[in-house]
Amino acid sequence: MKQSKMNRRHFIKQSTLLSIGGLLIPSIFLSACRKETLFEDINYDGKVLIIGAGAAGLYAAYILKSKGINFQILEASPTYGGRLGKLTNFANFPIDLGAQWLHGKNSILADLIQKSNTKISLDNSEVKYWFNNQLINSLPQSIEIFEGDGLPDISYKDYAIQKGLGNEYKFIVENIAGDQGAVASRLSVLYNNIEEENWNSGDDDFKFQETYFDLIDNQIASQVKDKITQNTIVSKIDYSQTNIVVTDSNNNTYTADKLIITVPITVLKTNDIQFIPALPSEKTVAFSKIGMDAGMKVFMKFSNKFFDQNIIGGSICAAYADDSVGKAVDDNVLLAFVMGEQAEYLTSLGNDTAISTALLQELDTMYNGQATTSFIASHVQNWTTNPFIKGAYSYSTVGMGNARQIAAQSVNDKLFFAGEAMNVNGHHQTVQGAVETGYREVINVLNSIKK
Amino acid sequence: MKNCIAIFGLFFVWNNLKAQEFKADFSYKYIYANQWDKAIQTYNFSRPFITEKQPLIIHGLNASVSYIFKSQKKIKHGINLSYSYFRSSSDNENLVNVLNLHFLNLGYLLHYENAERLKGFYSDLIISATSSGLFRNVNGEPFVYDESKSKALGIGGNISLKAGYQLMIKGKTYLSPFIAIDYTPYFYSPNTEAVINQTKGLTSKNWTPILTTQVGLTFHIKNIE
């Protein structure tokens, strides 16, 4: 009996220990197997070529560098940053020539801002509307009509008319479309709304005390600058052989195993780059369905601040904004944020003086001639005439369907497409959206290697 | 508030008297949810600027209470309520990022105990509905954007198998070490990647299977007649 009791005790002890060990040991083992990062042990000795040193290209390079992968960036222009740029010595604060608002706080760049202790502030500046030839605080009719269920695939312009927003709302609607980088007659109510529903970064807009360009320059570009080959206009991409051969306009060639293409959608649409073999037709059709219209920023400096913080609804420029909002110091700089048909019109005037004169005339109408009398200087940043950009940013056209998803797909596990227009998660048009595609395509490149 | 506590206390005592057994568990819990791993792995991969990586959500604590109804059968049934907490924290200069994950399960329990053949041993099979809340804290504060907290709520169904061995402490009270394994085949938490990596559908899915294991102690109060 004693023996039996001992056996049972022994059995219980053993089985308890075995059971606990049986769960704990696999758990500890599994914990060790679970890696903290993707591709933790990747060892790739091939070369990745990146075309374009905008936010997407720079971020892709930054990730590749962190993984110890050989890469090179080919940049057409003599600078880097893409649609980011900085103007100093115009006002007593630095000016963003391109992207300048951080849209939402829930993003990878917001983490970078936090980590780098970059100063940003919420832009809650007040809005006035130029409506029926007068400046008013609020519109008589709600313009919140472009969101919700059951929206049709027609343009903003047509939908606004359908919903009873008459001609007096024309430039108010142009401003809404212009915010999306589009002309109201080309932007799809349906597809823009579908893409907006995917947006999850937050609706607040933030401004940089310094500039957006500084953030990307100091935190990202500085890490990969030495790998940028500037003034290199890519004219041909031959991916017919094992190695990809890229030829520039001076007939220099560059070879690579993988290629990340980050050029603006306009460059892909206008066939500035010849692909050998030609890209699949469904891809080129997809490119053609993604919109990107004209866009420019005109900075006007005045001797006094006669203007409001935001003026919406002008017929020459639908959106003016006080550029000193969010800056450490004040200056009388008004930004004319000109998009779509208005940017096309101002571009057609032919020179910067004519552009600022047209804008001053409009501001004189709004503010009883104060613009011209207090005008000091202007700076025109026309992204449309930049041959390597050719517009503002991408938007959803009528009939676009899933063009963005098709455009973003890789070709033969060799060509990978990044850039704001290739963001399929609703973050297109933004720097953070471009950054997301930059690291997304590095993930795709590394997945293709694993295959 | 005092009245609520008193009513709850009376309800607890009354139910305990009516019950065959009342159990309270405390355990260490290991979790494996591959889509959430993927979101954290993407977070770490895409942010070379952080030196201390965000740890995967692996280790947590669990507390649960079970109420087994009176029955003469070998297999008895009851209800189980459990709460688990997991945390992942990375400490980088200016960016202390913490993910707090909470689970709450409410389930139906089948309790098997054969005093004659397997004295002291018991096993529980629990089928439960499970819900979760994932929250992000940055630099000690809840991460807020657009005036609301960053959060991901989730829901799913869970099956759990538990085995333990009871040691009598005194009278009706017992203590038992136990082990358990839980499986959630489909746990729907669509906003998880948005909380972890601030993206949506970039690298992970809206749902994940979850596997957990537990090792812990149970405190039993038995009303054996």
Helix (H) or strand (E) holding B103: strand B95-113
pLDDT exceeds cutoff 70 at A17: no
Tokens of A115: 């980590």
Q: Contacts of residue A426 in chain B, CB cutoff 8 Å?
A: 200
Q: Which residue of A has its CA nearest to B45?
A: A37
Give the mean pLDDT of A421-437.
96
Q: Is A123 an 8 Å CB contact of chain B?
A: no
- CB within 8 Å: B177 and A20: yes
A200 touches chain B (CB under 8 A): yes
Nearest residue of B to residue A426 by CA position? B200
3-state helix, strand, coil in chain A (%, to 5): 40, 20, 40
Residue from the list B45, B56, B97 with its beta carbon closest to the beta carbon of A39? B45
A278 has a chain B CB within 8 A of its CB = no
**Nearest CB to A114 within list B45, B94, B163:** B94
Q: How many CB atoms lie within 10 A of CB A304?
A: 9
Interstrand relation of A234-238 and A244-248 (parallel, antiparallel or unpaired): antiparallel
Q: Do A116 and B92 touch (CB under 8 A)?
A: no
Is residue A325 less than 8 Å (CB to CB) from chain B?
Answer: no
Lowest mean pLDDT among A12-16, A61-65, A415-419, A444-448: A12-16
Decide if A451 touches B, using CB distance below 8 A.
Answer: no
Task: Of B12, B77, B15, give the one whose Cα is nearest residue B223.
Answer: B15
Can you list the pairs that B81-85 forms with residues at least 24 positions away whose Cβ atoms lie under 8 Å?
Answer: B81/B105, B81/B106, B81/B107, B82/B25, B82/B107, B82/B128, B84/B29, B84/B31, B84/B60, B84/B212, B85/B60, B85/B61
Residue A443 phi/psi, 5° resolution?
-60, -45
Residue A305 at interface with chain B, using a CB cutoff of 8 Å: no
Residue B70 phi/psi, 5° resolution? -65, 135
Are A401 and A287 found together in one domain? yes
**Residues belonging to chain B:** 225
Q: Which 3 state secondary structure label does DSSP give A191?
A: helix
Of the partner residues A62, A201, A440, the one whose CB lies closest to the CB of residue B202: A440
The single-letter code of the amino acid at B46 is: S
Cβ-based contacts of B196 with chain A (< 8 Å):
none
| Chain A 51-90, residues with CB within 8 Å of chain B CB atoms | 62-63, 65-66
Asked whether the predicted pLDDT for residue A19 surpasses 80, the reply is: no
Cα–Cα distance measured from residue A420 to residue A438, given in angstroms and rounded to the nearest whole number: 9
Residue A23 falls inside a structural domain? no
Residue A158 belongs to what domain range? Answer: 124-203+295-382
Same structural domain, A267 and A322: no
CATH number reported for the structural domain that contains residue A232 in this entry: 3.50.50.60
Mean pLDDT (whole number) for A6-22: 56
B74-133 residues touching A, CB cutoff 8 A: 92-95, 97, 120
In chain A, the residue whose alpha carbon lies closest to the alpha carbon of B216 is: A20
Window from A1-15, A417-431, B106-120 with minimum mean pLDDT: A1-15
- CA-nearest residue to B28 within chain A is A24
Q: What is the DSSP letter of A430?
A: S
Count CA within 13 A, CB hemisphere, residue B177. Answer: 11
Pair of tokens at residue A172: 């108010």
Chain B: closest CA distance from residue A438 (Å): 9
Residues A443 and A306 in one domain: no
Candidates B30, B42, B47; nearest CB to A111: B47
pLDDT digits (tens, 9 = 90+) for A80-105: 999 999 999 999 999 999 999 999 99
A414, pLDDT greater than 80: yes
Do residues A300 and A287 share a domain?
A: no
Judging by DSSP bridges, how do beta strands A258-261 and A415-417 pair with one another?
A: parallel
Check CB contact under 8 Å for B46 and A63. Answer: yes
Q: Do A146 and A285 lie in a common domain?
A: no
Domains: count for chain A: 2
Compute the distance between CA of residue B88 and CA of residue B77 in angstroms, rounded to an integer: 36
Interface contacts (A, B; CB < 8 Å): 121
Strands in A258-261's sheet, in edge-to-edge order, are: A228-229, A70-74, A47-51, A258-261, A415-417
- Predicted confidence pLDDT, tens digits, chain B (225 residues): 667 667 666 555 555 556 678 999 999 999 999 999 999 999 999 999 999 999 999 999 999 999 999 888 889 999 999 999 999 999 999 999 999 999 999 999 999 987 777 778 999 999 999 999 999 999 999 998 878 899 999 999 999 999 999 998 888 899 999 999 999 999 999 999 999 998 888 888 899 999 999 999 999 998 855
**Does residue A297 carry a pLDDT above 90?**
yes
Whether A243 is covered by a domain: the verdict is: yes
pLDDT band at A330 (very low <50, low <70, confident <90, very high): confident
Say whether A230 sits in a helix, a strand or coil.
Answer: coil
CB contact under 8 A, A200 and B214: no
Note the pLDDT of residue A14.
58
Q: Do residues A198 and A303 share a domain?
A: yes
pLDDT bucket at A3, cuts 50 / 70 / 90: very low
Please say if the pLDDT value at position A1 is more than 90: no
Q: How far is the C-alpha of B87 from the C-alpha of A135, rounded, in Å? A: 53
Residue A370 structure tokens: 């104060």
CB spacing of B46 vs A106 below 8 angstroms: no
Does residue A61 form part of some domain?
yes
Per the domain annotation, does A112 fall within a domain? no
Task: Locate B42 and state its tokens.
Answer: 């993407």
Show which of A324, A352, A382 is a domain's final residue. A382
In this structure, what CATH number is given to the domain that contains residue A128?
Answer: 3.90.660.10
Domain membership flag for residue A110: no
B50, B120, B145: residue with CB nearest A202:
B145
Statement to judge: residues A372 and A407 lie in one domain:
no
Sign of the dihedral defined by the CA atoms of residues A268, A274, A280, A284, in that order: positive
- Mind telling me how many Å the CA of A89 is from chain B's nearest CA? 31
Chain A environment of B32 (Cβ under 8 Å): 30, 34
pLDDT value of position A4: 42
B165 vs A contacts (CB less than 8 Å): 12, 15-16
- How many residues does this entry show for chain A? 451
Helix pair A352-366, A340-348: axis angle to 10 deg: 120
CA–CA gap between residue A63 and residue A87 (Å, rounded)? 28
Q: Is residue A306 part of a domain?
A: yes
Last residue in a domain, options A326, A351, A382: A382
Task: Return the pLDDT at A8.
Answer: 52
**Neighboring chain B residues of A31 at a CB cutoff of 8 Å:** 30, 58-59
CB interface of A with B, residues 201-260, below 8 Å: 201-204, 219
Distance (Å) from the alpha carbon of B56 to chain A's nearest alpha carbon: 6
Please give the DSSP secondary-structure letter assigned to residue A420.
Answer: G
Nearest to A425 among B42, B46, B200 (CB): B200
Joined together, the tokens standing for residue A89 give: 């010595």
| A198 and A220 belong to one structural domain | no
Q: Report yes or no: B175 at the A interface, CB cutoff 8 Å.
A: no
Looking at the complex, does the CB of residue B56 fall below 8 Å from at least one CB of chain A?
Answer: yes
- Most A CBs within 10 A among B51, B176, B183, B199, hence the mutation to make, goes to B199
Residue A224 has pLDDT above 80, yes or no: yes
**Are the CB atoms for B178 and B162 separated by under 8 Å?**
yes
Assess if residue A93 is contained within a domain.
Answer: no
Chain A interface mutation, best of B49, B134, B176, highest count of A Cβ atoms under 10 Å:
B49
Q: Please state, in angstroms and rounded to a whole number, the distance separating the CA atoms of residues B207 and A206.
A: 32
Distance separating alpha carbons of residues A334 and A102, to the nearest angstrom? 19
Work out the average pLDDT over A15-41.
70
Residue among A267, A281, A288 at smallest CA distance from A389? A267
Query: Cβ B138–A114 below 8 Å, yes or no?
Result: yes
B47 min Cα distance to partner chain A (Å): 8
Tens-digit pLDDT profile for residues A366-379: 999 999 999 999 99
Q: What is the dihedral of CA A234, A238, A239, A243, to 10 degrees?
A: -90
A250 by Cβ neighbours in 10 Å (0-12 / 13-18 / 19+) ranks as: exposed
Predicted local confidence at residue A9, as pLDDT:
57
Cβ atoms B215, B27 nearer than 8 A: yes
CA closest to B166 among chain A residues: A12
CA gap A150, A53 in Å, rounded: 40
DSSP structure class, residue A411: B
Same domain, A244 and A187: no
Q: Beta strand pairing status for B95-113 and B121-138? A: antiparallel
Which of B60, B55, B153, B168 minimizes the C-alpha distance to B120? B168
Give the neighbor-by-neighbor strand order of the sheet with A274-276. A253-256, A244-248, A234-238, A274-276
Q: Are residues A149 and A224 in the same domain?
A: no
Give yes or no: residues A287 and A299 share one domain.
no
Q: Give the burial class of A277: count Cβ atoms within 10 A of its Cβ; 0-12 exposed, 13-18 middle, 19 or more buried.
A: exposed
Task: Count the alpha carbons within 13 Å of B96 in the hemisphere toward its beta carbon.
Answer: 6
Cβ-Cβ contacts under 8 Å for B47 (sequence gap 6 or more): A108, A111, A112
Domain boundary among A327, A355, A382: A382
On whether residue A42 sits in a domain, the answer given is: no
Please check whether residue A397 is in contact with residue A293, taking contact to mean a CB–CB distance below 8 angstroms.
no
Whole-number mean pLDDT of chain A? Answer: 93
Model confidence at A64: pLDDT above 50 = yes
CA-based nearest residue to B52, from B13, B106, B17, B89: B89
Q: Which residues of A touch B59 (CB under 8 A)?
A: 31
Classify burial at A127, counting beta carbons within 10 Å of its beta carbon; exposed 0-12, middle 13-18, buried 19 or more.
Answer: middle
* pLDDT-derived band at A405, boundaries 50, 70, 90: very high
DSSP A141: S
Is the distance from CB of B165 to CB of A14 less than 8 angstroms?
A: no
Tell whether A33 lies on the interface with B, counting CB pairs under 8 A.
no
Widest Cα–Cα separation across chain B? 65
Residue A267 near residue A290, CB atoms below 8 Å: no
Q: Which residue of B has its CA nearest to A203?
A: B146
- Considering only CA atoms, which of B65, B62, B63 is closest in space to residue B23? B65
Structure tokens at B200: 């949506």
Q: What domains appear along chain B, each with residue ranges and CATH number? A: 20-222 (2.40.160.20)
- Do A322 and A445 sit in the same domain of this protein? no
What letter represents residue A277's amino acid?
Answer: P
